């Protein structure tokens, strides 16, 4: 299984997670529920709950001119939560 690196950003803060999965799309726990408390500034418990509900909606889009890099943006009360999925190892 490939190793994926997830880079998430919210309100100027960022966090990096890694996990081995068969694909990057269906394993949102790697970048949602497994976030340590206070990992992202402004991600309150209520917003984290909203994130876990919205995480499966929408699609990842390929990042132009990059191989094995995808991006997804989620609106959390008017603020953009962004996650990049990077296939780090085959």
β-bridge partners, 18: 5
pLDDT, tens digit, 9 for 90 and up, residues 19-64:
888 888 767 877 887 788 888 989 998 999 899 889 988 889 999 9
| Structure-block tokens of residue 57 | 């909606």
Residue 83: per-residue pLDDT: 94
Confidence of residue 7 (pLDDT cuts 50, 70, 90): very high
Query: Could you tell me the pTM of the whole model?
Result: 0.88
Neighbours of 90 (CB within 10 A): 7
Three-state DSSP at 3 gives strand
pLDDT, tens digit, 9 for 90 and up, residues 56-75:
888 899 999 999 999 999 99
Q: Indicate the domain borders of the chain.
A: 3-89
CA distances from 63 to 27, 34, 85 (A): 19, 24, 10
Q: Which residues contact 48 (CB under 8 A, 6 or more apart)?
A: 32, 35
């Amino acid at each position: 299984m490939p190793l994926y690196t997830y880079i998430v950003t919210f309100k100027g803060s960022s966090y990096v997670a890694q996990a081995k999965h068969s694909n990057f799309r269906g394993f949102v726990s790697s970048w949602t529920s497994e976030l340590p408390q206070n990992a992202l500034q402004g991600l309150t418990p209520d917003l984290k709950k909203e994130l876990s509900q919205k995480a499966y909606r929408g699609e990842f889009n390929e990042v132009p001119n990059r191989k094995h890099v995808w991006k997804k943006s989620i609106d959390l009360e008017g603020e953009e939560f962004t996650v990049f999925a990077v296939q780090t190892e085959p």
